[in-house]
Amino acid sequence: MQILESSLAWLVDQAWGLPQLVLLFGGGLILTLYSRFLPFKGAAHGIGILLGRYDRSGDPGEISHFKALSTALSSTIGMGNIGGVAIAITQGGPGAVFWMWLAAIVGMATKFFTCTLAVLYRGHDSRGQLQGGPMYYIEVGLGRRWRFLAIFFSICGLVGCLGMFQTNQLSEILESTFSVNRYLSGGVAVALVAVVVLGGIQRIAAVAARLVPAMCVLYMLLALVILIRSYEIIPDLLAQIFHDAFNGSAAAGGAQGIAFSVVVRTGIKRAAFSNEAGIGTAPMAHGAARTAEPVREGLVAMIGPFIDTIVVCTVTALVVLSSGLWRGSDLAGSSLTASAMRSSLGSFGEYALVVIVALFAMTTLFGYSYYGRKCFSYLFGAERALIYDLIYLVAIFIGAIWSADLVINLLDSAFAFMALPNMIATLILAPRVMRATRDYFSRRAAGLPPGTSGGGPSRPDHGSNLHLPPGTSGGGC
């Protein structure tokens, strides 16, 4: 096990080196500038789409815009917002939060492009079911000669979407708060997840649509109570975040300042794990949306990083920083956030957070199961997807008993490798997204109905919604 831990520690350092940071952050910045901030200008329209004002029951797809976003948020709003932010602060200091913000801002453009592509280039799995996601827009959008990237993404997705971090952090906080045995936590999590995930995307989306809004409101209310009580020091905390973003600070208990490169890398890495912009997971959920307009799904998807990182992660960061416990303590992850809650609200705050952590962990596990199943189906066929479900359930049990460092390094490495083919494809296909975007807003301004462009099909020049025949993708490598 020690050899495995040291090997994964080396691998994650290599995977999250300068090239990866340039690809994710630089790629997102390029997409932001290339779009001339057009996705941001359409944010209000995106909210209208999310609220169902443009839903049509006859459109292709399985779930509504709201359920698609809820499913995506069920995977992003979770342990990355509670445990991941605390880890970012202990590893990179308060300045890491600033780089999480920047990564989220450019990540909004990345989400717009990737999730537009997820609907623009959908294909059929081996059962003939309409599917979307990086593996499909790589193969359909770029052509079959690029399929090796789709296969590579799917292989990495099998590991990155195992959901081990969620049960790891859940079992950690239950053990530290109530002395619950980790094996028991893992077993109960497996049983609960099995009930939902074996029902497929419809059941996952239905559960996520109910739980995600409720758990976000509950967590935000709890955190805001703490911040209101500490309102006098919030300006100082924000100033410290901006200062340490470029100057570093002492890590938890450390006497030496944190190198600037470490602060940047930690912030971008934890933002990627939190909102998953550029990783390629969210497009798999948004690709199932019921819509004939790819751009609409992109506009809905870009709301995700704002909610996840700019709002929820910021609140968590201020709670942790206001407690002062991030310095001189061996606590990390969810345990640190729980202790911060306890320091302000007593036992009630800690116990309330345990409930919230359980909700966050479970909804994330639901969403990740769908992502991994989709990768498995692409590689080996949808009719064999039950095999992955069983692997997934075993993996989340293992995650509950493994060390946090081992789990984090394994998943961080897989996420980095998932981002490589996804961002390459997104940057290559970006001009087609922009043509679709300009076409969509011009038709909207002219009052034309969906699917028309005045003189014929709305997207004839870039093969929108080109569907592979059943069995083309997913019949095996």
Point out which residues pair with 124 in neighbouring strands: 130
Q: What is the CATH number of domain 36-248+260-441?
A: 1.20.1740.10
For residue 248, pLDDT over 80 is answered with no
pLDDT attached to residue 428 = 97
What is 28-42 written as a DSSP string?
A: HHHHHHHTTTHHHHT
pLDDT attached to residue 72 = 55
Q: How confident is the model at residue 251 (pLDDT cuts 50, 70, 90)?
A: very low
For residue 150, pLDDT over 80 is answered with yes
The residues, ordered by sequence, that sit 6+ positions from 10 with a Cβ below 8 Å of its Cβ are: none
Token pair 């995106």: residue: 46
Per-residue burial over 161-197, b = 16 or more CB atoms within 10 Å of its CB, e = otherwise: bbbbbbbbbbbbbbbbbeebebeebbebbbeebbebb
**CB 162 within 8 Å of CB 142:** no
For residue 458, pLDDT over 60 is answered with no
pLDDT attached to residue 368 = 87
Global pTM value: 0.84
pLDDT attached to residue 62 = 63
Could you tell me the residue ranges of all domains in the chain?
36-248+260-441
Average pLDDT for residues 112-135, to the nearest whole number? 93
Residue 125: what residue type? D
Range among 54-58, 99-103, 470-474 rated most confident = 99-103
pLDDT attached to residue 324 = 87
